[in-house]
């Protein structure tokens, strides 16, 4: 048996036809895979639907639980125990697979000896699905950090069954929130090979209704159960310490971005008493796993939140959250080590503070090219680079040429800093025409920096109305060769690039 497909079932009668139809249509021979439906005491006619399909699907197995488990965790564990395949694929009862999904995934898993393998997701009915891990194409031996896998922690993947059993991995029944993240992160951390396929539409994720757990309230202690276990498992793992640290940062960024935590603490979803309970549990979590170096490595938009949570003051947290959204350039006090700091103040009987917080996330920028000239010996580019929070700072500007094929960067620095936001570069052609292998397109960026804070922007899409046509200069002599350069506007983003050619 090649593959076991595990489907937890609860009141899924109206969805099951699409799910089971997709399994009937698989290009993998039906004798090579089994479908294990674990009915979690459904009160609709889910059993009747499955039994109807069993008449035409010899590989369809129905397991009827005698007690409702309250979630998909235990039914998935029942399927792991019953599975006979080399690999097990977890499928939700309202999702479906592409016709070649099982065959493609299994063949790639065997070829690469994958412990975990999954393919491109497709959202249905407006469902958002992770995409970043598929942008590099097929990754036969992917990396959790390099391929952004912490943003794909749903269990809709194929796992080597022996790998799961040997490690004793299961969906923890106490993990009513994030149980899939706990299982998948444990598998990621211990897996020798994780394979990601982007060459086919493998798994179709259907938008769900009000049964989604995100609409239900859970005590904070239950909420944090999975996330405590994840970081405990990471810290106890055999990964090297530097990788552990970077993975911890990546996971906490993901946790703060995607979980309901900030929504519960910062919105009106909870009473003040409930918020205080959640805040206390959150402080315990951060105190245990998030030290100051970790905070400094987090995305800037989360740093104030973590620091204030550690003070365990709900009034201060709500007040700073409100004020930080109204920060202007007048509030910025310094830029240091890559961080923009703003002074936040409040004085009242309930809560008073006078302190700085990182506000990088609030800084917006605009780039405008006012002029571009290609002369006999040099190219001149002028324009404006404005940043909403840094109008009172002296900014250093660099024009950066990026060779599209090799990725090589050639940096041209401005001679002096400017507080006006204006840049004016004149670059001799010899700065980029120094190697015959570096012909073809060069893309142009302007980079602004101050106090270690760097903002890079592609230039050209916003430009003077006089810059409408390509500009070509021929007969350029550099290092004994003759070149031509054409400045043109890319499609579809309409930015400026240079096309370099050697004249014959």
What CATH number should be reported for the domain whose range is 3-206? Answer: 3.90.550.10
Q: What percent of the chain has pLDDT over 90?
A: 91
Distance CA 318, CA 301 (A): 15
By three-state DSSP, how is residue 391 classified? Answer: coil
Task: Judge whether residue 218 has pLDDT over 80.
Answer: no
Looking up tokens 């698989």 gives 26
pLDDT in tens, 24-65: 999 999 999 999 999 999 999 999 999 999 999 999 999 999
pLDDT in tens, 305-339: 999 999 999 999 999 999 999 999 999 999 999 99
Q: Yes or no: is domain 365-502 CATH 2.60.40.10?
A: yes
- Nearest CA to 23 among 107, 99, 83? 99
- Nearest CA to 163 among 108, 107, 116, 106? 116
Asked if the peptide bond before residue 492 counts as cis, ω within 30 degrees of 0, the response is yes
Amino acid 214: pLDDT: 43
Compute CA 337 distance to the chain's CA centroid, rounded to the nearest angstrom.
25
What does the block give as tokens for 469? 């046509």
Amino acid 414: pLDDT: 80
Average pLDDT of 240-262? 96
Catalytic residue among 180, 371, 384, 437: 180
At 213, the pLDDT band (50, 70, 90 cuts) reads very low
Amino acid 212: pLDDT: 43
Element (H, E) at 317: helix 314-324
Query: Residue 379 in contact with residue 372, Cβ under 8 Å?
Result: yes
Task: Judge whether residue 215 has pLDDT over 60.
Answer: no
Q: Helices 272-289 and 300-309, interaxial angle, to 10°?
A: 110
By three-state DSSP, how is residue 139 classified? Answer: strand
Query: Residue 444 in contact with residue 411, Cβ under 8 Å?
Result: no
Average pLDDT of 251-274? 93
Same fold: 3-206 with 365-502: no
By three-state DSSP, how is residue 274 classified? Answer: helix
The domains of the chain are located at 3-206, 217-361, 365-502
Instruction: Enter the pTM of the model.
Output: 0.91
Distance CA 380, CA 204 (A): 50
Distance CA 199, CA 119 (A): 8
At 216, the pLDDT band (50, 70, 90 cuts) reads low
Amino acid 208: pLDDT: 67
What does the block give as tokens for 405? 């094929």
Average pLDDT of 270-290? 95
Amino acid 136: pLDDT: 96
| Residues linked to residue 384 through DSSP beta bridges, in sequence order | 368, 422
Task: Judge whether residue 72 has pLDDT over 60.
Answer: yes
Distance CA 482, CA 406 (A): 21
Quick count: other Cβ atoms within 10 Å of Cβ 210? 6
At 466, the pLDDT band (50, 70, 90 cuts) reads very high
Range of weakest confidence among 218-227, 237-246, 327-336, 363-372: 218-227
Q: Positive or negative CA dihedral for 13, 19, 90, 223?
A: negative
Residue 199: active-site member: no
What does the block give as tokens for 289? 């796993």
At 209, the pLDDT band (50, 70, 90 cuts) reads low
Query: Residue 38 in contact with residue 79, Cβ under 8 Å?
Result: yes
Amino acid 197: pLDDT: 98
Using CA atoms, how far residue 279 sits from 285, 458, 504, in Å, is 10, 41, 70
pLDDT in tens, 157-206: 999 999 999 999 999 988 888 999 999 999 999 999 999 999 999 999 99
Cβ-in-10-Å burial (0-12, 13-18, 19+) of 493 comes to: exposed
């Amino acid at each position: 048996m090649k593959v076991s497909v595990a489907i937890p079932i609860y009141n899924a009668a109206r969805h099951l036809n699409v799910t089971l139809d997709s399994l009937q249509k698989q290009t993998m021979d039906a004798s090579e895979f089994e479908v294990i439906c674990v009915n979690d005491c459904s009160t609709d006619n889910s059993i009747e639907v499955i039994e109807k399909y069993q008449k035409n699907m010899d590989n369809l197995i129905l397991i009827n639980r005698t007690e409702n488990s309250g979630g998909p965790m235990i039914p998935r564990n029942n399927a792991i125990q019953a599975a006979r395949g080399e690999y097990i694929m977890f499928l939700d009862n309202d999702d479906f697979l592409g016709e070649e999904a099982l065959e493609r995934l299994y063949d790639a898993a065997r070829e690469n000896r994958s412990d975990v393998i999954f393919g491109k997701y497709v959202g249905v009915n407006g469902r958002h699905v992770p995409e970043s891990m598929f942008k590099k194409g097929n990754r036969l031996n992917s990396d959790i950090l390099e391929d952004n896998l912490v943003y794909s922690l749903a269990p809709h993947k194929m796992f080597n069954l022996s790998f799961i059993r040997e490690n004793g991995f299961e969906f923890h029944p106490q993990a009513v929130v994030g149980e899939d993240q706990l299982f998948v992160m444990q598998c990621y951390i211990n897996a020798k090979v994780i394979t990601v396929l982007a060459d086919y539409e493998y798994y179709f994720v259907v938008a769900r209704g009000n049964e989604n757990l995100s609409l239900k309230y859970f005590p904070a202690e239950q909420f944090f159960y999975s996330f405590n276990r994840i970081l405990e498992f990471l810290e106890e793992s055999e990964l090297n310490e530097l990788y552990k640290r970077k993975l911890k940062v990546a996971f906490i960024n993901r946790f703060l971005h995607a979980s309901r935590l900030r929504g519960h603490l910062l919105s009106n979803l909870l009473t003040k008493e409930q918020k205080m309970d959640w805040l206390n549990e959150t402080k315990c979590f951060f105190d245990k796993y998030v030290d100051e170096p970790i905070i400094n490595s987090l995305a800037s938009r989360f740093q104030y939140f973590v620091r204030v949570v550690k003070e365990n003051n709900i009034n201060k947290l709500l007040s700073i959250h409100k004020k930080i959204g109204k920060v202007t350039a007048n509030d910025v006090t310094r830029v240091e080590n890559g961080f923009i700091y703003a002074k936040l103040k409040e004085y009242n009987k309930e809560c008073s503070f006078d302190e700085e917080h990182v506000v990088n996330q609030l800084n917006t920028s605009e780039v405008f090219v006012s002029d571009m000239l290609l002369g006999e010996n040099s190219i001149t580019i002028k324009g404006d680079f404005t940043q909403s929070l840094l109008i009172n700072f002296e900014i250093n500007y660099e024009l950066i040429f990026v060779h599209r094929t090799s990725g090589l960067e050639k940096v041209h620095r401005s001679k002096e800093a400017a507080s006006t936001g204006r840049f004016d570069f004149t670059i001799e052609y010899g700065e980029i025409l120094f190697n015959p292998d570096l012909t073809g397109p060069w893309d142009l960026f302007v980079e602004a920096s101050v106090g270690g804070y760097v903002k890079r922007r592609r230039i050209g899409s916003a430009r003077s109305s006089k810059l409408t046509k390509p500009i070509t200069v021929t007969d350029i002599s550099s290092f004994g060769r003759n070149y031509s350069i054409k400045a043109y506007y890319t499609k579809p983003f309409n930015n400026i690039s240079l096309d370099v050619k050697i004249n014959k």
